[in-house]
Amino acid sequence: MRIDIWSDVVCPWCSIGKKRLDRALADFEHADDVEVVYHSYQLDPAAPSEPTERARDMLARKYRMSEAQAAQAQDRVTALAAEEGMYWRHDETWHVSTVDAHRLLHLALAEAGPQVQSQLKEALWQAHFGEARNVADPVVLTELAVGVGLDADRVAVVLGSDEFADAVEADIRRAAALGATGVPFFVVDEKYGISGAQPVELFAQALERAWSERSPLQMVTPGAAGDADGADGACGPDGCAI
Amino acid sequence: MRIDIWSDVVCPWCSIGKKRLDRALADFEHADDVEVVYHSYQLDPAAPSEPTERARDMLARKYRMSEAQAAQAQDRVTALAAEEGMYWRHDETWHVSTVDAHRLLHLALAEAGPQVQSQLKEALWQAHFGEARNVADPVVLTELAVGVGLDADRVAVVLGSDEFADAVEADIRRAAALGATGVPFFVVDEKYGISGAQPVELFAQALERAWSERSPLQMVTPGAAGDADGADGACGPDGCAI
């Protein structure tokens, strides 16, 4: 079974939502048969690559809140993160571009698989929310990517080019095609969609439902009339049917 | 809609089967919405990387046929390939390893997408069957990979390492898990399986059936009782629901 997750590195609900999904998976009998794949989503494609503004100040400016209101909004989410065992320096986080982080998440998926990609995503969330590091900084990104086992030379090549930029854009278009208007957006087995950091019970329910509805592959075979035109031609370890 | 194809570069029925699928797709109304992804399968994982034996001689040796019988078997398939517009030098093809070709097909998929991967697969089949070139030769592989637009430096790195070898193995295990005992093996929308180079009509029927049974994403949402624990927390272009 497969779970596709659209999320952003600077999206607090995405990190909290993933922890809730993890709790549902911890109690799910078939968790070993579940593959999680992350897809890119950029909350603010126009965010700068230099850390010029704290996320809190951007919030206040963009939504015309007072500094106290922006702080209150962030603190409420920080408290929910703490319920999931994460201790955030939310007030110090930077408002920065995540496109390079997403390109490295594609590199991780392509060359090391979904488990390493998940590790990199968690490392990015921890760097941004837990340590208020600049996740647009190539030095920080390289440290995190190499830390989960990616090849330093490949990371340098990707960061020095626009490799995987198309894949980031394609992910964002696919999210829109699926009807996602925000993140996190979870798709279980290409069948059930879950929008937002829903309660653990809702994730558990979707996992059980999707699992129970799994069907084995149905083979399509020629009718009894057969076919003279090379039907059933196949090759196997014992040669080709000729 | 998605079609997953397990196949090998040296598998004649795989190339013929793909041409038949292409003909079904040419008449399929929703062909533009179909993505084709190739997966690795090795008919003979023990085949040598040096071209020491023609496929025809290997056939005769392995199945204790006379040279004339092996030639007759190959010629029958060559005639069916010609019906699909392909002119093969089947008698001159080499019995060689395809693991490096499969690793490059994974590189193409990961870094350039399914369309470029399909182009590389066709180029490999043409090189092996149409021109009797050695598709285990790094020079030949590089020429074909660069010919479809892959980066020469990346191709050199992949060929000089065991990058994507795990992905090749994972594909072969997944084929076994799906019940495939030979190739080509087609899976339409993770639902319908087709084994072998079946007639065009059978592919057409599977495409229509899978398309008619497509269902839009079903959203799973909390019940009317709601939830106080941060349900529905999501971030979008207009900020985070807090």
Q: In sequence order, what E strands does A141-200 have?
A: 185-188, 192-195
Rounded to an integer, the average pLDDT of A13-38 is 96
Rounded to an integer, the average pLDDT of B196-221 is 92
What's the mean per-residue pLDDT of chain B?
92
At A223, the pLDDT band (50, 70, 90 cuts) reads low
Give residues with Cβ within 8 angstroms of A172, minimum separation 6: A40, A41, A42
Q: Decide if pLDDT at B224 tops 70.
A: no
Would you tell me which CATH number, out of the four given (3.40.30.10, 2.40.50.700, 3.40.50.800, 3.30.1300.10), belongs to the domain B2-212?
Answer: 3.40.30.10
Q: Is the minimum CB–CB distance between B240 and chain A shorter than 8 Å?
A: yes
* Cα–Cα nearest to B150, from B103, B107, B102, B115: B107
How far apart are the C-alpha atoms of A51 and A137, rounded to whole Å?
9
Query: Mapping DSSP to helix (H, G, I), strand (E, B) and coil, where does residue A226 land?
Result: coil
The 10s digit of each residue's pLDDT in A121-169 is 999 999 999 999 999 999 999 999 999 999 999 999 999 999 999 999 9
How far apart are the C-alpha atoms of A2 and A36, rounded to whole Å?
6
Q: Does domain A2-50+97-209 have CATH number 3.40.30.10?
A: yes
Query: Mapping DSSP to helix (H, G, I), strand (E, B) and coil, where does residue A62 land?
Result: helix
Q: Decide if pLDDT at A232 tops 70.
A: no
pLDDT for position A221: 83
At B173, the pLDDT band (50, 70, 90 cuts) reads very high
ipTM value for the complex: 0.81
How far apart are the C-alpha atoms of B198 and A230, rounded to whole Å?
7
B-chain residues near A14 (CB < 8 A): 235
Q: Decide if pLDDT at A231 tops 90.
A: no
CA distances in angstroms from A200 to A103, A144, A152, A219, A220, listed in the order given = 29, 29, 37, 36, 39
Q: Which of B222, B236, B240 sits opposite A198 (nearest CB)?
A: B222
Q: Are A199 and B229 in contact (CB under 8 A)?
A: yes
How far apart are the C-alpha atoms of A211 and A34, rounded to whole Å?
10
pLDDT for position A240: 86
At A229, the pLDDT band (50, 70, 90 cuts) reads very low
Q: Are A234 and B184 in contact (CB under 8 A)?
A: yes
Query: Mapping DSSP to helix (H, G, I), strand (E, B) and coil, where does residue A49 land?
Result: coil
Token pair for A78: 């920080």
If one counts every other C-beta atom within 10 angstroms of the C-beta of residue A7, the result is 26
If one counts every other C-beta atom within 10 angstroms of the C-beta of residue B97, the result is 19
Q: Are A101 and A29 in contact (CB under 8 A)?
A: no
Percent of chain A with pLDDT over 70: 95
**Inter-chain residue contact A195 with B43, CB threshold 8 Å:** no
If one counts every other C-beta atom within 10 angstroms of the C-beta of residue A231, the result is 16
Q: Decide if pLDDT at A10 tops 50.
A: yes
At A238, the pLDDT band (50, 70, 90 cuts) reads confident
One-letter amino acid at A197 equals: A
A-chain residues near B111 (CB < 8 A): 110, 163-164
CA distances in angstroms from A66 to B32, B113, B183, listed in the order given = 50, 46, 65
What distance in Å separates residue B63's CA from the closest CA in chain A?
A: 9
Percent of chain B with pLDDT over 90: 81
DSSP structural state of residue B92: G
Strand partners, A7: A40
The 10s digit of each residue's pLDDT in A58-73 is 999 988 999 999 999 9
pLDDT for position A20: 97
What distance in Å separates residue B22's CA from the closest CA in chain A?
A: 16
How far apart are the C-alpha atoms of A132 and A93, rounded to whole Å?
5
CA distances in angstroms from B36 to A24, A106, B17, B165, listed in the order given = 33, 20, 13, 21
At B172, the pLDDT band (50, 70, 90 cuts) reads very high
The 10s digit of each residue's pLDDT in A43-101 is 999 999 999 999 999 999 988 999 999 999 999 999 999 999 999 999 999 999 999 99
pLDDT for position B214: 86
Task: Write out residues 163-222 of A within 8 Å (CB-CB) of B.
Answer: 163-164, 166, 178-179, 181-185, 187-188, 190-199, 202, 205-206, 209, 215, 217-222
At B238, the pLDDT band (50, 70, 90 cuts) reads confident
Q: What are phi and psi of B232, to 5 degrees?
A: 70, 5
Q: Are B40 and B171 in contact (CB under 8 A)?
A: yes
Rounded to an integer, the average pLDDT of B155-184 is 94
Q: Decide if pLDDT at A211 tops 60.
A: yes
pLDDT for position B225: 42
One-letter amino acid at A190 equals: E
At B137, the pLDDT band (50, 70, 90 cuts) reads very high
Three-class DSSP labels, A3-24: EEEEECCCCHHHHHHHHHHHHH
The 10s digit of each residue's pLDDT in A159-168 is 999 999 999 9
Rounded to an integer, the average pLDDT of B47-69 is 93
CA distances in angstroms from B45 to A237, B60, B169, listed in the order given = 9, 19, 10
Q: Decide if pLDDT at B226 tops 90.
A: no
How far apart are the C-alpha atoms of A120 and A164, rounded to whole Å?
16
Q: Is the minimum CB–CB distance between B32 and chain A shorter than 8 Å?
A: no
What's the mean per-residue pLDDT of chain A?
92
